[in-house]
Structure 1
């Protein structure tokens, strides 16, 4: 690359952009229509043959997990080490957008948006269920620890933290930093293909880039539709648990329709008036719920759990990261490798959204905020929710102690039973789940729209509306027509995309390293 990269790139890209603008739209023809055709083919096939689709895609998912477990874990370790190294390297001083760039959003709003898009909803769904599953041997135990023991409780919290700590956020950080650097420092479009310019040169504007972007859109919309469907199931289960409302298909579809309608309003309002406002609401509600669980529950026990979670995470991060010679294969494949594939499949969506809102931050500030801060907050969250649940089980209190983990979507509400104002905080929990999904749908629509418009940040609003409706329609159609098998097929499809995207991320690390070093050389030479 050189200082003339921006001019050369602009000419080459505009010459081969392949965009069409009927009815006021601005679409990248190859990416949009191929992606739309593949999505329609998948949805129709899944609705007609839900069991067959689930079987085929689950086979692909299980094959990827069983045969490439080593690749997922080694790659995850590389991403963490690479991100931590960037904090201390001289390139950490580089500012996204150039030396005069200023942040578009306050630090609080910025963090709220990246956290809400990253995994806020996952913490609601798994904050109680995951450590309880490990402690009670619901589907294997980490490192083969004896279940229902004090050692099992400690490792349950540490292993849960391992899945939600540095590794997933490093995956997101790689994609986000690559996209934001090449978009805002090199003037390229905000799309996945741009991060590969140092590797492929002008060929990224051809079929190679089309393949990368199509994979990104498919991973994003499948992941979002899956999460929307699973979230509808959790919210419906909560409504049934609290108010006796039937939690069946009709309620789940009604929830999806409601979430999609609110997301449409947010989409029309745009990034500043939509996603930012909802993310701030998310942060306020989540902080209020967290503080209430800490101080209205067993406060001393929660603070003890924080130490246990953090210390167990640090003590076990290396054995948990080792893919070889494992004695806990059932747990290792069913949880860790699955999670890594899932995070990687989500990385185009979350990474691009974080990139979109991170202009004006230095590389060091960016990595610290995206990697370190969420990890610290997640320690507190998992300790409050998971630690409280484990304490109830060990004390023989509540449904989780007497019946075990019977329904993952109900675990959080069952833990709330033994905290004051159960109905109030349970209702707040349902609202928070729904708002998190609105935020994810909205930010996902922005990301998909940007990719299918060739990386533009100001594509017509009706395109974002189209993708928001598509996400809800896919989830609702699959729940209505195929039920659990269809959702499992969708999830398996998203996870299967994680395998090829692992290679994409590894190459992206090299391209980012090369680009940052070149930028630093230009700055030191006084050319920037």
Structure 2
């Protein structure tokens, strides 16, 4: 810890040792037992669980869509203000702190943790869905429910305008707003952990508001909510990854799709994640993240080469422009007529990102020591947004080119998890592209699971980063068990409902976090 670290805040000490495990009492017990009970009852009462999750998702998004929309906008504005204010000069870890990782290693871990499976799953599926809706057609909603809607009520009879609007809506869901959520959580954790000497756990960032009460019941509730949000957000992504990887394997090799094969795939990939978890952050997670980046870059470049290269490259800049122009309307809360779009897509996405934020935020915080706040926010907010826009432009642009040319009927008709593989069939080296895509999904699956286990373990161990390996193994296994339970107890709708249910209360927690972080930064400036 740097000599510049502020130690005005008192650190709570309530860790206990039981059977060699470093347990943060009672966060570990409450969260672990509650999640185990959830898995048990979901597996035993699958039919009832499916009905409940089918009701829960639309109920939350229709009633509380304004909460998610407003919170997302607050995070973007707050992050941008940190870049331009004097707070940006503060260095995480003190004035003399040096970065632990190079830019290349840092970006690889940021991107692998932050988006991963989602980009591969939705890269083709989402632009195609928005394009059909923009033309006044019937689009496939992301819960498997067919809904009629037109984003912003525009582009009804203009294919080119519909394409730009579809790409703007897609980039909107993978751009500034989700990365602002991650940036706020990661920055708060890094600042209070490295500059204030507090444990690297969610409760620590609320010290300026709650003071010593942070180490009592209030802090326990915050950390338990963080564990719930993280593990169910991860389970959603792991379930999506399993659906797509199995669909790709069946498409390529004819393996067949059944509940048993889904369970087997999750078990096998969780086993790979366990190996990485045991290896630790430096040897396991970092190396897998770098493998991820290489595979993702290879797939991106291959699709760019074999696809409509010129149309994709020119479309990237047009898509960015369309995103910027439509951003105020897409992020608006009042007077929206496209409620199905706002509730069925945007509210779900914001809830999903918020549920992921403790995991991604803490992971980013652990690898970001030594960066200034300005450098941190720019790199976490702006660069991933541009890379995400490029990914969506390449995959979505190639798919939309097929649809607009009349050769993409099979892509439009395919299931969400199959759209990317069906699109590849029209390209040279289609088998190679599909195989790389499957491997990429699986490796993203593993990195999400192992890095998520490290983060949950840190929260339940009171912020320690060197807790016993057995605890990391426990959480890694539990993540796979939840993904299995949700897939069997309702499929994709159940996965999404779980993410929204945990994301809703945590949205309020994160808004309060912005207030606490501002108070902490203000105290630094006053000194």
Name 2:112's counterpart in structure 1. 116
In the TM superposition, what is the alpha-carbon distance from 1:8 to its structure 2 partner? 5.1
For residues 250-270 of structure 1, give each alpha carbon's deviation from its aligned partner in whole angstroms, at most 9, with x where no partner exists.
322222122111111111111
**CA distance in 1 between partners of 2:93 and 2:111 (Å):** 22
Q: Which moved more, 1:308-317 or 1:49-58?
A: 49-58
In 2 relative to 1, CA 302–445 (structure 1 residues): closer, same or farther, beyond 3 Å?
Answer: same
Cα shift at 1:62: 2.5
Q: Does 1:56 align with 2:52?
A: yes
Shift of 1:291: 1.0
The aligned residue for residue 374 of structure 2 is 364
Of 442, 459, 463, which residue of structure 1 is paired with 2:467? Answer: 459
Does structure 1 residue 98 correspond to structure 2 residue 94?
A: yes
Q: Distance in 2 between matches of 1:408 and 1:486?
A: 13
Mapped to 1, the partners of 2:262 and 2:417 lie a distance apart of: 13
Q: Which residue of 1 aligns with 2:435?
A: 427
RMSD: 1.7
2:391 paired residue among 370, 375, 381: 381
1:475 aligns to 2:488 (yes or no): no
Partner Cα separation in structure 2 for residue 400 and residue 328 of structure 1: 27
| Pair 1:445-2:423 in alignment | no
CA deviation string 1:211-270 (max 9, x = no partner): 111011011111212221221111110011111111222322222122111111111111
* Alpha-carbon distance between aligned partners in 1 of 2:79 and 2:42, rounded to the nearest angstrom: 39
The 2-side partners of 1:65 and 1:472 are apart by 26
Quick one: which of 496, 504, 522 aligns to 1:499?
504
Give the gaps of 5 or more residues in structure 2.
Answer: 134-138, 140-146
In structure 2, how many angstroms separate the alpha carbons of the residues matched to 1:486 and 1:370? 32
Q: How far did 1:84 drift?
A: 0.8
Does residue 518 of structure 1 match 2:523? yes
User: Are 1:269 and 2:274 counterparts?
Assistant: no
Q: CA deviation at 1:61?
A: 3.3
Partner of 1:80: 76
How far does the alpha carbon of each residue in 1:13-53 deviate from its partner, in whole angstroms, 9 at most, with x for none? 12xx1x22122210112101111121122112212222323
Where 2:374 maps in the other structure, the secondary structure is helix
Supply the distance in 2 between the matched residues of 1:327 and 1:221 (Cα, whole angstroms).
34
User: 1:420: how far off?
Assistant: 1.5
Q: 1:46 aligns with which of 23, 36, 42?
A: 42
What's the counterpart of residue 127 of structure 1? 123
| Contact 2:42/2:485 (<8 A) preserved | no
Following superposition, the deviation at residue 56 of structure 1 comes to: 3.1
- Give the drift of 1:144: 2.1
Question: How far did residue 405 of structure 1 move?
Answer: 3.7
SS at match of 2:462: coil
Q: Find the counterpart in structure 1 of residue 419 from structure 2.
A: 411
Instruction: Determine which of 329, 333, 348 is the counterpart of 2:358.
Output: 348
Deviates more, 1:121-130 or 1:148-157: 148-157
User: Which of 62, 68, 74 is the matching residue for 1:66?
Assistant: 62
Cα deviation, 1:350-385, whole Å, max 9, x if unaligned, reads: 111111111111101100110000011111111100
Which SS does the other structure have where 2:275 is aligned? helix
Aligned to 1:89: 85
Distance 1:88 1:419, change over 3 A: same
Deviation at 1:477, TM superposition (A): 4.4
Query: Is the counterpart of residue 153 in structure 1 residue 139 in structure 2?
Result: no
Instruction: Judge conservation of contact 2:182–2:361 (CA < 8 Å) in 1.
Output: yes
Q: Contact between 1:131 and 1:390, CA under 8 Å: does it hold in 2? A: yes
CA distance in 2, matches of 1:427, 1:4: 48
Q: What is the aligned counterpart of 2:401 among 382, 391, 397?
A: 391
- State the Cα distance separating 1:478 from its structure 2 match: 4.4
Name the CA shift for 1:4/1:241 in 2 (closer, same or farther; >3 Å). closer
Give the match's secondary structure for 1:26. strand
| Consecutive unaligned residues in structure 1, runs of 5 or more | 523-528
Given that 1:136 and 1:148 are in contact with CA atoms closer than 8 Å, whether structure 2 keeps it comes out as no
**Which portions of structure 1, spanning 4 or more consecutive aligned residues, are displaced by more than 4 angstroms?**
none
SS of 1:9's partner is coil
Contact in 1 for aligned 2:5/2:93 (Cα 8 Å):
no
Alignment of 1:142 onto 2:138: no
User: 2: distance between equivalents of 1:119 and 1:490?
Assistant: 17
How many residues matched?
510
1:292-331 mapped onto 2 (5 Å cutoff) = 292-331=302-341
Alpha-carbon distance in 2 for matches of 1:226, 1:71: 21
TM (norm. structure 2) is 0.93
Closer, same or farther: CA 356–128 of 1 in aligned 2, 3 Å: same
